[in-house]
Amino acid sequence: MEVTQILVEGKVQGVYFRAKTQKKAKMLGLTGYVKNLQDGMVQIIVSGVAEKIDLLIEWINRSPEGSRVDNIEIKTLETDKVFKTFSIK
């Protein structure tokens, strides 16, 4: 299992980006959370199989309907944190 932080920049707040991300992550069997940051970015912490995380990243890169993704920063995290579901914070 891998834990990855994804920071998404663009028009990603106020456009249901978090809800759509939660739905997609759950479809892929991923756990973690998504939350808005004060600087207008969205932070995603996702745990699961690397191939499924890659599919989520590809989906984000395609700018889910209503959003505009300008930049994504991806970082693998070293953590033992276990998530039971994928939540919106």
Catalytic residue among 36, 61, 62, 68: 36
Do the Cβ atoms of 56 and 9 come closer than 8 Å? Answer: no
Angle at the Cα of 57 (from 55 to 61), degrees rounded to 5? 115
Q: Catalytic residue at 62?
A: no
Cβ contacts of 24 within 8 Å, gap of 6 or more: 56, 59, 64
- Active-site position among 18, 62, 68, 71: 18
Question: CA 36, CA 13: separation in Å to the nearest integer?
Answer: 7
Q: Is 36 a catalytic residue?
A: yes
Which positions are annotated as active-site residues? 18, 36
